[in-house]
Amino acid sequence: MAERALRAAVVGSGPAGFYAAAALLARGAEVDLIERLPTPWGLVRFGVAPDHPEIKAVSRVFEKTAKEPGFRFFGNVDVGKSVSPAELASIYDAVIYTVGAQTDRRMGIPGEDLPGSWPATAFVAWYNGHPDFQDLHFDLSGERAIVVGNGNVAMDVARMLALTHDELHPTDTTHAAIDAITGSGLREIVMLGRRGPAQAAFTNPELKELGELAGSDVVVDPADLVLDPASEAALAEDRSTARRNVDLLREYARREPTGKPRRLVLRFCVSPVAILGDGKVEQIEVVRNTLAVDESGQIRAVATGERETIPCGIVLRSVGYRGVALPGVPFDDQRGVIPNAEGRVLDPAGSPIPGLYCAGWIKRGPSGVIGTNKKDAVETVERVFEDADAGRLPLGTGDIEALLVDRGLPFVEYSGWEAIDEHERGLGAPHGRPRVKLVNWDELLGHGRTRQ
């Protein structure tokens, strides 16, 4: 191995992919970052809410990585279709899968698939301009939208539905989404948390933003903030997120509605049991929960017999993301991740597969903030170099570029992405917008100066 640099492929160009690439480059490896879409950044482009530009700005760090010697980007390359995992394994010394969690978790309740019941993942991809989600039609003509879940994705979705034209215009939300949200008949957005306010997964800045919206009053029932003894005890030890969340919610509960056009209602200790309607969503049936401490010390929701139906026109289910299996790569269907030990991919017998690694959400599940993926990717890359030093890596031969050219498969290089980026920024600039995203494949591939 000493005669040449380690050659690695990283599959998936979201935060985990870029942090893995940076860690590999820092130790002298050559890195090909392979991406299914014509554009890089994964959920930074297609997941982070458009009204959070300061979070999206992490892409500037990734841009620096992309400029380092030894880095190549191959967009529009679908691993599993354009090139197989076995072929990648033969070309590279090490392959790191950083493909994220590409679908949603299911609730497993009747009516979950009624038209008008959507995974939040699809809604997020749509308003962020993901080219695979632009044909979806979200009917926002009803007066009430339900958002199920109490995580930061639920927060993003609920807030996006509540934003005014003036709040959306300076963002890179798609035109279609701005028109649909601002032209909707929505009067009320209701977020449903199955546990109590002290167990909410959302974080303080996101909750604080709800209290500052131009066109929407935030509404919390003070009765929902009467805590059970276990939650009180947990809060007494908590000096950060949960404590501050409950303090903010108490402040919201004291507010009088100011008559803004929309209301954003936060409800707690309610679980959906069915989504009802004649051919489309018309109501959601929920059961009231109490909280109980289970044998592992976790505070869990326990259904009571008390039920209620809430009329609504759309349900956005935001109960977590889930990884998708890649044919030819081991997958733990129970957890929705690639089975691994500190990033080394394990075969069904539990032994590491030489040269195969993973990082990010497909390694540990869909948790943490963008920065969490740095530590995670660095851990994986450390294992790669341990294996390289111990002579455990298979030596790859060949070149993906030659393979793609040979097959006549068009691909987007980093310079192609830069051309897309410049074009999008140019479209946005005259209107005071950061960019206007290209949202269709042909346009993206056209502007990406695809090579073949």
Interface with ligand NAP by CB under 6 A: which residues? 107, 148-154, 156, 194-195, 199, 201, 206, 271, 318-321, 366-369
Nearer to ligand NAP, 195 or 433 (CB): 195
**To the nearest whole angstrom, how small is the minimum distance from the Cβ of residue 193 to ligand NAP?**
6
Residue 53 tokens, joined: 């530009």
**To the nearest whole angstrom, how small is the minimum distance from the Cβ of residue 164 to ligand NAP?**
20
Nearer to ligand NAP, 128 or 340 (CB): 128
Q: Is 415 exposed, middle or buried (0-12, 13-18, 19+ CB in 10 A)?
A: exposed
Residue 358 tokens, joined: 């993973």
Looking at residue 359, its amino acid is: A
Nearer to ligand NAP, 178 or 242 (CB): 242
**To the nearest whole angstrom, how small is the minimum distance from the Cβ of residue 307 to ligand NAP?**
15
- Find the distance separating the first CA and the last CA of the chain, reported in whole Å: 31
**To the nearest whole angstrom, how small is the minimum distance from the Cβ of residue 289 to ligand NAP?**
10
Q: For residue 401, count other CB atoms closer than 10 A to its CB.
A: 14
Helix or strand or coil: residue 307?
A: strand
Spatial CB neighbours of 436, under 8 Å, sequence gap ≥ 6: 172, 175, 424, 427, 428
- Cα–Cα distance for residue pair 215/161, rounded to 1 Å: 10
Nearer to ligand NAP, 368 or 398 (CB): 368
**To the nearest whole angstrom, how small is the minimum distance from the Cβ of residue 67 to ligand NAP?**
27
- Cα–Cα distance for residue pair 315/107, rounded to 1 Å: 12
HSE at residue 274, side-chain half, CA atoms within 13 A, is: 8
Give the torsion through C-alpha atoms of 317, 318, 320, 321, to 10 deg: 80
Q: Decide if 24 contacts 17 (C-beta within 8 A).
A: no
Nearer to ligand NAP, 44 or 79 (CB): 44
Nearer to ligand NAP, 275 or 388 (CB): 275
Nearer to ligand NAP, 120 or 388 (CB): 120
Spatial CB neighbours of 307, under 8 Å, sequence gap ≥ 6: 273, 285, 286, 287, 288
**To the nearest whole angstrom, how small is the minimum distance from the Cβ of residue 379 to ligand NAP?**
18
- Cα–Cα distance for residue pair 269/363, rounded to 1 Å: 31
Residue at shortest CB range from ligand NAP: 151
**To the nearest whole angstrom, how small is the minimum distance from the Cβ of residue 203 to ligand NAP?**
6
**To the nearest whole angstrom, how small is the minimum distance from the Cβ of residue 442 to ligand NAP?**
30
Ramachandran region of residue 368, left (φ > 0), alpha (ψ -120 to 50) or beta? Answer: left
Nearer to ligand NAP, 108 or 430 (CB): 108
**To the nearest whole angstrom, how small is the minimum distance from the Cβ of residue 283 to ligand NAP?**
17
Nearer to ligand NAP, 322 or 423 (CB): 322
Residue 286 tokens, joined: 């929920």
Nearer to ligand NAP, 301 or 356 (CB): 301
Q: Which residue has the tokens 């695809």?
A: 450
Cα-to-chain-centroid distance, residue 48:
7
**To the nearest whole angstrom, how small is the minimum distance from the Cβ of residue 352 to ligand NAP?**
27
Q: Decide if 269 contacts 192 (C-beta within 8 A).
A: no
